[in-house]
Amino acid sequence: MSYYNRHELERNTRATAEEVNAELIKVKAAFDQVQAAMEALSIGAGLPSFTWIAYADSIDGTANFTTGEPGNREYIGIATNKTIPIESTSPDDYTWSHYKGGIDGTDGVDGDSFYVWIAYADKIDGTVNFTTGAPGGRHFIGIAANKLTPTESTNPADYQWSQYSGPPNFGLVATAGAAVAGNRIIKTSGAYTWGESVYSSESYAAGAFVSFRPELDDQMMIGLNTDPATDASYTSIDYAIYIQVGHTFRVYESGVSVHGPVAFTAGDTFAVQYDNNNVYYSRNGIIFYQHATTPNLQLFLDSSMVGQGTNATIISFSAGGRIGPAGDDGPPLLGFYQDSSPGAGAFVNQTWYRPSYKEWFVWNGSSWVRLLGDVSALSIITDAYISTLHANKILTNTITANKFLTDAGVDRAAVVPGSLNAGSIGTYAGTYTLNRKSNPGDPPNEGAICYTATITATDFADAIFINWGGTFSGLNSACNIYLQVSVNGGGWTTYDDPKVTTNLVAGFYNLSLEFQGHTAGTTIQARIYVQNGSSTSAGNGQEITITDGFAKVRRFFAKS
């Protein structure tokens, strides 16, 4: 039932009896509600309070006012503590405010961003080898949560630390200034002296093995020892590898150097092994020093370190198998027979040498096969062991049939004359003026030069021989005689071996070498170079005379 509102009827309106009765009912209902309110006041219940809500399209409520649904109106009007529930239709009775968006509100205060810091170290409190970068093999991890900046602290105390990788599978004991971090040992404090050590609590009898990789260019020793708890010095370690500053190492035994120094590269791994009869020292798996020693030793891992931060990683310590019994003697690898048949070989790949013929043979299981020998074009003697003569295996300049000393084993008619190699010979003679030494190079005014023509290799297995000679006069101890080689038209390379440089006197000199490192198509040229080796200009103007000089480059066919 709604309250009576006289404004709903227009004045001077004629009404039917039904309409009048309806209006009277509304009036009665209004008086009934007033009566109920009065009764409430009489018993102290107080008057009811109502809130009116209206909507409009202007801040004063006058545009498009309504107390019904808001629709798309922009503003809301509110009136509180009203004694009747029927909303007023007067905009002035309301307090107006913006109802829809369109004017941005004030930005709120940003909330806090939280970050997690992570660090790594080689000690449980984070004080050794601390980093906030990659772990890099470190064995402890530090975590700090709910931090207000993304930049990690460099203070280890700001982190909660725990072990990051597992410990080695053997016990390690560290002295006061040393620490064990997983499979790494490190000196953490103390003076710069041999005063801190890490050693194993376990030992192995009649066979032991220790390996490690040094991580800092500083002094340390690691090895095997019978009494590691005696002291922390290197002098008591029985068998140790000594890592020195400058990436060199030695072998020390009971405080005495017995091998080295030898250079090594960062990242190299070292090992010491005892097999009950011998001790072996190796680098990257290759033994570089060994000797016999006392059997039945009980050995521990032991170490000694000098500077703070000195450390080694990938520490491994285990039992090593003792050496087994010696096996039976094997067959001989070499048989010498004085120019006679050895009969059948004793085993495959056995070799046989014939001194007078300077020949080597190998037994293939059924016959002797010739490997090499001093074969001359003027003296080729065939027998049952040289059944076939291959021209491309003879290192000669020219072979013709009438130069063979043949017997029934060689068919003269089957020998085809022809050149078996290519050669280039340069000759020179004359008197040359030599000035003081500078870098070997092209003339003039530095030396006597003899060029050869160019030889081209046809196969990587071709034999390329270079030799030179001549009769020299006017030489002295300051003269140098070099062989120089040019490959594929490039610069000249001076060969220190062979060369003639010491106390030179007049006479004939002749040296040669086999050139290696060529492939098919490589071109080789050689020359002889004579140079004044005086270190001052006082040596300028020296004259030498060369007669019968020559320089040769020869290519022989593939040797296989």
Across the beta sheet with 507-515, what order do the strands follow? 421-434, 542-556, 463-473, 507-515
Task: Provide the pLDDT for residue 416.
Answer: 38
Q: What is the spatial distance between Cα 359 and Cα 380, in angstroms, rounded to a whole number?
A: 12
Token look-up 């006069």 returns 473
* Percent of residues in the chain assigned helix, strand, coil, to nearest 5: 10, 40, 50
Backbone φ/ψ region at 142: left (φ over 0), alpha (ψ -120 to 50), beta: beta
Q: What is the spatial distance between Cα 133 and Cα 153, in angstroms, rounded to a whole number?
A: 12
In this model, does residue 145 exceed pLDDT 90? no
Q: Which residues are registered as beta bridge partners of 427? A: 550
In this model, does residue 274 exceed pLDDT 60? yes
Which of 249, 262, 192, 246 is CA-nearest to residue 223? Answer: 249
Token look-up 């870098």 returns 439
Q: What is the spatial distance between Cα 481 and Cα 454, in angstroms, rounded to a whole number?
A: 21
Q: What is the pLDDT of residues 386-433, one digit of tens each?
A: 444 444 434 333 333 333 333 444 444 443 333 334 556 666 666 766
Task: Provide the pLDDT for residue 238.
Answer: 95
Judge contact between 434 and 479, C-beta under 8 A.
Answer: yes
- Average pLDDT, stretch 336-363? 74
In this model, does residue 283 exceed pLDDT 80? yes
* Identity of residue 533: G
Q: What is the spatial distance between Cα 14 and Cα 347, in angstroms, rounded to a whole number?
A: 146
In this model, does residue 38 exceed pLDDT 70? no
What's the first-to-final CA gap in the chain, in angstroms? Answer: 125
In this model, does residue 159 exceed pLDDT 70? yes
Helix (H, G, I), strand (E, B) or coil at 26: helix
